[in-house]
Structure 1
Amino acid sequence: MDEHLETLRAVEHELTALLRRGRAVSWEVAREVHQNLEPNAYGLLLWLRRCDSIRLTDLAGRLGIGKGTLSRQIRALEELGLVRRTPDPTDRRASQLSLTEEGRQRFDAARAARMDHIRRVLESWPDRDVAEFGRLLGQFNDAWS
């Protein structure tokens, strides 16, 4: 049991280091998208870019945050001209969220810089290790939720 506990402690240590670096990178990337963008907003923009269009309630569920909190964050992104709401054609009470053209362009530019950094960090890794790393991170994230 002690060996398993030490392994879990090592995972916690590395995860903490990753999260600390992630927060710092989120500040940088957020500023690249827009000078007034909150760091947590990058994750919202990432989901919106991936989904193209999504209902607020569905996005809140995927992110594991309350609709009220998400609504405030989306409102701030709308004010910056990065996100728009359009009526949901299947439910008049709901709306669809998507990136504006400006939001898409700014996000894509910031993401390209971030991807270049990730590419440089992982360039010495064998392709199979990079694929396994991505698979394990996905498995971890799925289990966490």
Structure 2
Amino acid sequence: MGQDVYEELEREIALFLRRARAISKDFARAVHPELEADAYGLLIRIADDGGARGTDLADYYGIGKPTVSRQVRLLEELGLVERRPDPSDARAAFFCLTSEGEQRMERMRTARRERFQQMLREWDSGDAEQLARLLARLNVLFKTPLVDGP
């Protein structure tokens, strides 16, 4: 592959990330008007996993524990998440959805799916499946930092 394909890939990923952030803000506001996009990402993970420890959220997203604490505190204040003792270690906190959080996330999950189906309605189903596979592979690669320090 020539260098041009990597430059194009870099541009397209940068554009995709900017647009994804904007969409994430819209989805977050649809769940709750005061919900921040970054906290919405944690909410998705908590919903998908049936709950999570703060350290697991920090590790998964590659962010600091203080950032997770601030975002989870917002989720608690909005009534979307509650803190419980971790079943495997009572000293640690385990965050799970409240019943209100479950209801809002189920509505949002349906809305997200409908939005993606609408966006990709012109695509062949094989193309959508291929995109899902390639994005999964790319996400695995993104676990490793692309840049070494400043």
Q: TM-score, normalised by structure 1?
A: 0.93
Q: Which has the higher helix share?
A: 1
Q: Number of residues paired by the alignment?
A: 143
Q: Does 1:21 align with 2:14?
A: no
Q: What CA distance in whole angstroms lies between the structure 2 residues aligned with 1:40 and 1:54?
A: 16
Match of 2:48 in 1: 50
- Which segments of structure 1 move beyond 3 Å, counting only runs of 4 or more? none
Q: What CA distance in whole angstroms lies between the structure 2 residues aligned with 1:26 and 1:91?
A: 33
Matched residue type, 1:143: L
Matched residue type, 1:119: Q
RMSD, aligned CA: 1.2
Match of 2:127 in 1: 129
Match of 2:3 in 1: 5
Matched residue type, 2:81: V
Partner SS state of residue 40, structure 1? helix
Match of 2:99 in 1: 101
Q: What CA distance in whole angstroms lies between the structure 2 residues aligned with 1:140 and 1:90?
A: 32
In structure 1, the gaps of 5 or more residues are: none
Match of 2:58 in 1: 60
Identity of aligned residues (%): 44
Match of 2:108 in 1: 110
Match of 2:140 in 1: 142
In structure 2, the gaps of 5 or more residues are: 144-150
Deviation at 1:136, TM superposition (A): 0.5
Q: TM-score, normalised by structure 2?
A: 0.90
Say which structure, 1 or 2, has more relative contact order (CA 8 Å, 6+ apart): 1
Deviation at 1:137, TM superposition (A): 0.3
Aligned partners of 2:39 and 2:74 also within 8 Å = no
Q: What CA distance in whole angstroms lies between the structure 1 residues aligned with 2:19 and 2:106?
A: 21
